[in-house]
């Protein structure tokens, strides 16, 4: 998105809302919606390439799992959600874009308990060719280290794609941009490398691909795809705990995520990296993978 794009509440198009199609501008919720006050919401981000959603069923199934972790049983199956995503893409005439399903607790009661609050689901979609510019995909982005850390799995539903878990991501992303960077790197509660504000991280050392064990954050669908693509090329993938000082010895580092796809990193604080051959090849493989029919 750019500064010239219209605000998200004032656009043409349609949104799928609890099984109905609504004009974009009239799709609203009440200010006493439980999720707005207490964070009871889960969401997905799905990329569309040439009018087809990539890994659609995996995203729909994860939305359902995330909802279950927040004590919500969605009133739709993965198949229903898949069809709704396809429908809203077609109605909005989007070829290359982004699909955002969201599930949340409604406004029937106010307070920490929400067992009588309705469970709502909406799906929006908009055109979004690329998160970062083509130049940054060639040169790499700049990152700082966030002062916040990812919590242990005993303190939050860390494997749910839950809205409330992204508060520190927003704080860290804003901080990074104010300092002239593009994103921030999180350590986990033990001090090991974890992830970016909304993406997983990989590093290349001596021809091998290393990535943190996702025991206190999401193992992203793009992360899983990249691991498969690397193994298909015969690249050894090592999932392990990574100490921050090890990043200085990496030859290449990159982020993976549905929104950012595969994005190379040029520097993290004082450590600098090149956009190397492995990153480029995996990015090419990923682009080819997204153009296959996927559901």
Active site residues: 161
Q: Which of 196, 209, 212 minimizes the C-alpha distance to 285? A: 209
Residue 199's CB: how many other CB atoms inside 10 A? 23
Query: At a CB cut-off of 8 Å and minimum separation 6, what does 69 contact?
Result: 42, 157, 159, 160, 162
Cα distance between residue 194 and residue 65, in whole Å:
22
CB 165 within 8 A of CB 126: no
Q: Which of 242, 255, 250 minimizes the C-alpha distance to 271? A: 250
Straight-line distance from the first to the last Cα atom of the chain, in angstroms, rounded to the nearest whole number:
26
Query: What does R_g of the chain's alpha carbons equal in angstroms?
Result: 19
Phi, psi for residue 163 in degrees, rounded to 5: -55, -45
Token pair 């970062």 is at which residue?
132
CB 282 within 8 A of CB 230: yes
The encoded tokens of residue 104 equal: 């949340």
């Amino acid at each position: 998105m750019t500064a010239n794009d219209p605000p998200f509440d004032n656009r043409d198009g349609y949104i799928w809302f609890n099984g109905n199609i609504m004009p974009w501008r009239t799709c609203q919720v009440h200010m006493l919606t439980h999720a707005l006050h207490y964070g009871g919401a889960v969401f997905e981000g799905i990329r569309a390439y040439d009018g087809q959603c990539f890994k659609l069923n995996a995203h729909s199934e994860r939305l359902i799992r995330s909802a279950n972790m927040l004590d919500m049983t969605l009133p739709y199956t993965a198949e229903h959600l898949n069809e709704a995503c396809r429908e809203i893409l077609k109605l909005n005439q989007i070829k290359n874009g982004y699909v955002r399903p969201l599930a949340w607790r409604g406004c029937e009661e106010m307070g920490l308990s929400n067992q009588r609050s309705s469970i709502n689901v909406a799906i929006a979609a908009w055109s979004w060719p690329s998160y970062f510019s083509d130049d940054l995909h060639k040169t790499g982005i700049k990152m700082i280290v966030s002062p916040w850390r990812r919590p242990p799995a005993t303190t939050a539903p860390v494997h749910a794609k839950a809205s409330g878990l992204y508060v520190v991501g927003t704080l860290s992303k804003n901080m990074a941009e104010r300092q002239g960077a593009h994103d921030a790197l999180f350590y986990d509660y033990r001090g090991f490398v974890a992830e970016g504000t909304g993406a997983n991280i990989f590093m290349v050392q001596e021809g091998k691909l290393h990535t943190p064990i996702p025991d206190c954050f999401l193992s992203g669908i793009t992360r899983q795809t990249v691991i498969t693509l690397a193994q298909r090329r015969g690249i050894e993938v090592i999932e392990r705990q990574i100490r921050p000082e090890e990043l200085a010895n990496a030859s290449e580092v990159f982020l993976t995520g549905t929104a950012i796809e595969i994005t190379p990193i040029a520097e993290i604080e004082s450590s600098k990296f090149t956009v190397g051959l492995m990153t480029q090849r995996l990015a090419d493989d990923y682009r080819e993978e997204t153009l296959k029919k996927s559901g």
